[in-house]
Structure 1
Amino acid sequence: MTDAALIIWFRRDLRLSDNPMLSAAVATGRPLVPVFILDPETEAMGAAAKFRLGLALAHFSDRLAGLGSRLILRRGPALSVLEGLVAETGAAGVMWSRSYNAAARARDEAVKTALKSKGLMAKSHPGALLFEPWEVETGQGGPYRVYTPFWRAVRGRPVPEASSAPDRLPAPVSWPASDRLADWRLDGAMQRGAAVVGPHQRVGEAKAIARLEEFATTTMAAYAHDRDLPGLTAATSGLSENLAWGEIGPRMIWHRGWRAMAAGNAGAETFLKELVWREFAWHLMYHYPQLDTQSWKPGWDTFPWRDDNSDAEAWRRGMTGEPFVDAAMREMYVTGRMHNRARMIVASYLTKHLLTDWRVGLRWFADCLTDWDPAANAMGWQWVAGCGPDAAPYFRIFNPAGQADKFDPDQTYRRRWIAELTRVPGALALSYFDAVPRQWQLDPARRYPLPRIDLAEGRARALVALAQGKT
């Protein structure tokens, strides 16, 4: 064991097991100084994401304390913070888990170059994905652009087993000073919504692993069918929340899914495909860094999207008059998450029936989702809007009423979330009005609004816009 410490820079990898960076750091035998940096890239996150990050950091800090370690919190540009910590601790270098979006990659490359120029160790590790984006290539040597061939390409690839959590982390002789998490006010932008959203979160590695096991041994078998029914409360794994903050690793999920499939679990392969859908999103974002800002398909810059507008504001508030759409928007505002089928419906309604730019919706999701994943969010919005990586044409327009009849036939989901549709609303429906900004002046006693647009008229208008914008 050498005397010089090693700084281990945690980001969205707040776990002890299935963490290649942490395993590599422990293997050096050096004292370890865990750090989380509230840098400008992290400060730019939306309200719900920062709130959920705060919960994750508090929990992870306690986990580290149980191993005889600490989580040092610092605020500022990553490079200057790390250089300061190196000077304070005499550290030999820094390790971290890779990020793949453009801003994070630029930040990390600058950190690596600067540290190495000073003779320090600066090493990044995999951990967020099953497959590094540059390692999966088509037969022609480029990135995949369609999901199904991507799935076929990775389905049989070997994936390392998840590493175990260490029993302890070697501590330095003295600890550098740390910010107080409470002083960061990561919950500040949530205002009164924090008290509503908080109880719906299942924070930390232990709960994530328990969530995976519970799902694998109960409802996974019916996942292929039941995942489309938002009225069912336990049909999906719920792991998007924990994956988003790295409270569980993808290798652990992958191997648990394969074990279930080998045991004859009928829903396991469908579940694994959804995990790989997340991989595909990051594959695209790595190779197309503007995925969250520019239309992915060529020629879509001329499409006549509307900028933000009053229809979009009604959509944000869950007051469009389309019950399936409004239920989904309210679910997100209360829980910080939204059922995947519902995400497609609300995105299609905004971009097609209301002809609003997909980036308006992307930004609102980024502000409201506690399971916010920048790649999945960007690909999902572009996929539904018609300008993204999908073989289906733009005129695939989800009809909210038809989707409700098919996937919520007994109105369980709609009545759960829309107080105005029931004589005696439940606590979940009413909690929406406790979470929203007071200036919205929403009241569950008011009459439910009429539809913003006739669905047939909205579809026809979208097809006309396509014809005009793509000629």
Structure 2
Amino acid sequence: MAHGQTPIIIWFRRDLRLSDHPALTAAAESGRPVIPVFVCDDLVGRLGSAPKWRLELGLGALAEGLARLDSRLILRSGDALAQLQNIVAETGATSVYWSRSYDLASIERDTEIKAALTEQGVTAKSFAGHLLFEPWTVATKAGQPFRVYTPMWRAVQGRDVPAPAAKVTRLQSPDTWPATEDLNAWQMGRAMNRGAAVVRPFVQPGEQAARDHLDEFLDRVSKYSSQRDRLDQDGTSNLSEYLSLGELGPRTVWHRVHQAALMGVSGTEAFLRQLVWREFAYHLMYHTPHLLSDNWKPEWDSFPWNTDPEHPDVIAWTQARTGIPVVDAGLRQMYVTGRMHNRARMIVASYLTKHLMTHWKIGMQWFEECLIDWDPACNAMGWQWVAGSGPDAAPFFRIFNPQTQAEKFDPDGAYLRRWIAEGHRKSSATARSYFKAVPRSWNLHEDADYPAPVVALAEGRSRALGAYESRKTH
């Protein structure tokens, strides 16, 4: 086999698409055979129940898309380097391409793999694609990483974003395909148990579904500014799971929305700011990796948060039975659909970290277990931002009042009725689904009484502020 015709391995990770995919485009344009590969390694194995199940659905959709190009997705499990080396040996591939990741664990893995493959004469190349801007290309005038969002937004909003590459429509196949494992045999959704059947109707996996959602959002983006915080309205983009798994590229989203902006459509800048908010999360994760595991502001290490995940208050929060309807509604939405409205996420997180004085890491890890749109950077930054330990100009003393939040963003109670069954003579199907989604061991039934508040709102707020003031004086 001539070197020019040796295969290129495309190692798919969180980039499950065929368009706006620089690594795949480069491989396709080379004219060489392309072998798409996904490796279920230790980092994949660590995923929580819901994101791992959603990844399985995404892989199935990607495999179908590749099959339509007369290609296929090769599945392997185990150590990523070992599996890539195995496929190199089996196929004679001389190049391995992949899209970059930005968390420390992935960077360390990828650096080791690149060095090992290079040493054995295999070209190992990483490409952009998961972000609008590579984190090291964005800096303050002093050349430092940004620590506050608004200055970063100002710095990048006028920058050119590369146009997304067109969808790959042809891939050269190798003379022989390497062996593949069976996706169903991996049972990636096993830990979802009975919850999978409840969540599944709310999930449309794959690149085409992602593009359909983007089209639908663009039809109503003009209302984004006024409706995105409304719990009772479909005002958000609903694109988070697609961006998280890379079923939709951020450059595609940016250019489609920016095009609408040039046509004078309102609401577009507000959404583009949120897209750059995602970039800010990755910027922080890359430059300050402890964002994922420790207080971003180390002065919060001495704060007296509860760190016991089995504390009765935490159990009540986990089971969505805090007695605070909007908090419970947000959590129940997550259990039934796999997602939670962004405004509800802030209310739910504030209640746990402020009113219940519980460490943000407990909430962050629970979201990692339950959200199908889980994203390492966005999840960690969101929790730290709300808790006060993260990059926020209005820290701990900003405490969301769940009652006033509900009155403002769910004025007619539609969101609460959609997700809370107890106390209603004729509850909604979505509210009843909560009892079908949660573990049987919780022993919860819709005919049970709705619980009294775990802590009165005024009492919880006073306790949190007292702890904050005490911390400042020590």
Counterpart residue number, 1:223: 224
Q: Following the alignment from structure 1 to structure 2, what is the Cα–Cα distance between the partners of residues 295 and 469?
A: 15
Q: 1:39 touches 1:78 (CA, 8 Å); kept in 2?
A: yes
Deviation at 1:225, TM superposition (A): 1.2
Counterpart residue number, 1:282: 282
Counterpart residue number, 2:238: 238
Q: Following the alignment from structure 1 to structure 2, what is the Cα–Cα distance between the partners of residues 19 and 421?
A: 50
Q: Following the alignment from structure 1 to structure 2, what is the Cα–Cα distance between the partners of residues 312 and 398?
A: 18
- The one-letter code matched in structure 1 to 2:120 is K
Q: Following the alignment from structure 2 to structure 1, what is the Cα–Cα distance between the partners of residues 443 and 228?
A: 34
Question: CA RMSD, aligned part only?
Answer: 0.8
Counterpart residue number, 2:379: 377
Q: 2:360 touches 2:387 (CA, 8 Å); kept in 1?
A: yes
Q: Following the alignment from structure 2 to structure 1, what is the Cα–Cα distance between the partners of residues 377 and 105?
A: 13
Q: Following the alignment from structure 1 to structure 2, what is the Cα–Cα distance between the partners of residues 262 and 318?
A: 43
Counterpart residue number, 1:211: 213
Q: Following the alignment from structure 2 to structure 1, what is the Cα–Cα distance between the partners of residues 169 and 99?
A: 20
Counterpart residue number, 1:272: 272
- The one-letter code matched in structure 2 to 1:452 is V
| Mapping for residues 50-129 of structure 1, pairs under 5 Å | 50-129=52-131
Q: Following the alignment from structure 2 to structure 1, what is the Cα–Cα distance between the partners of residues 130 and 312?
A: 38
- The one-letter code matched in structure 2 to 1:271 is F
Q: Following the alignment from structure 1 to structure 2, what is the Cα–Cα distance between the partners of residues 393 and 387?
A: 7
> Does the residue aligned with 1:170 lie in a helix, a strand or coil?
coil
Counterpart residue number, 2:303: 303
> Does the residue aligned with 1:95 lie in a helix, a strand or coil?
strand
Counterpart residue number, 1:40: 42
Counterpart residue number, 1:364: 366
1:25 corresponds to which of 24, 27, 30? 27
Counterpart residue number, 2:401: 399
Q: 2:387 touches 2:395 (CA, 8 Å); kept in 1?
A: no
Q: 1:415 touches 1:421 (CA, 8 Å); kept in 2?
A: no
| Mapping for residues 138-177 of structure 1, pairs under 5 Å | 138-177=140-179
Q: Following the alignment from structure 2 to structure 1, what is the Cα–Cα distance between the partners of residues 451 and 354?
A: 20
Q: 1:224 touches 1:267 (CA, 8 Å); kept in 2?
A: yes
- The one-letter code matched in structure 2 to 1:248 is L
- The one-letter code matched in structure 2 to 1:255 is H
Q: Following the alignment from structure 2 to structure 1, what is the Cα–Cα distance between the partners of residues 55 and 19?
A: 19
- The one-letter code matched in structure 2 to 1:275 is L
Deviation at 1:393, TM superposition (A): 2.6
Q: Following the alignment from structure 1 to structure 2, what is the Cα–Cα distance between the partners of residues 28 and 107?
A: 26
> Does the residue aligned with 2:454 lie in a helix, a strand or coil?
coil
> Does the residue aligned with 2:232 lie in a helix, a strand or coil?
coil
Counterpart residue number, 2:326: 324
> Does the residue aligned with 1:403 lie in a helix, a strand or coil?
helix
Deviation at 1:4, TM superposition (A): 0.9
Deviation at 1:465, TM superposition (A): 1.1
> Which deviations, in whole Å up to 9, do the C-alpha atoms of 1:373-419 show, x marking residues without a partner?
00000000000000000111310000101101111110000110000
Q: Following the alignment from structure 2 to structure 1, what is the Cα–Cα distance between the partners of residues 245 and 304?
A: 36
Deviation at 1:421, TM superposition (A): 3.7
Deviation at 1:289, TM superposition (A): 0.7
Identical amino acids, percent of aligned pairs: 56
Q: 2:210 touches 2:247 (CA, 8 Å); kept in 1?
A: yes
- Give yes or no for the alignment of 1:388 onto 2:362: no
Tell me the TM-score normalized by structure 1: 0.99
Counterpart residue number, 2:449: 447
Alignment gaps of 5+ in structure 2: none
Counterpart residue number, 2:336: 334
**Number of equivalences:** 469
Alignment gaps of 5+ in structure 1: none
Counterpart residue number, 1:14: 16
Deviation at 1:3, TM superposition (A): 2.5
Counterpart residue number, 1:251: 251
Q: Following the alignment from structure 1 to structure 2, what is the Cα–Cα distance between the partners of residues 283 and 183?
A: 37
Deviation at 1:10, TM superposition (A): 0.2
> Which deviations, in whole Å up to 9, do the C-alpha atoms of 1:21-73 show, x marking residues without a partner?
11111122110000000000010000000000000001110100000100000
Counterpart residue number, 1:180: 182
Q: Following the alignment from structure 1 to structure 2, what is the Cα–Cα distance between the partners of residues 240 and 250?
A: 10
> Does the residue aligned with 1:338 lie in a helix, a strand or coil?
coil
- The one-letter code matched in structure 1 to 2:22 is P
Q: 2:28 touches 2:170 (CA, 8 Å); kept in 1?
A: no
Q: Following the alignment from structure 2 to structure 1, what is the Cα–Cα distance between the partners of residues 470 and 84?
A: 52
Find runs of 4+ consecutive structure 1 residues off by over 4 angstroms: none
> Does the residue aligned with 1:291 lie in a helix, a strand or coil?
helix
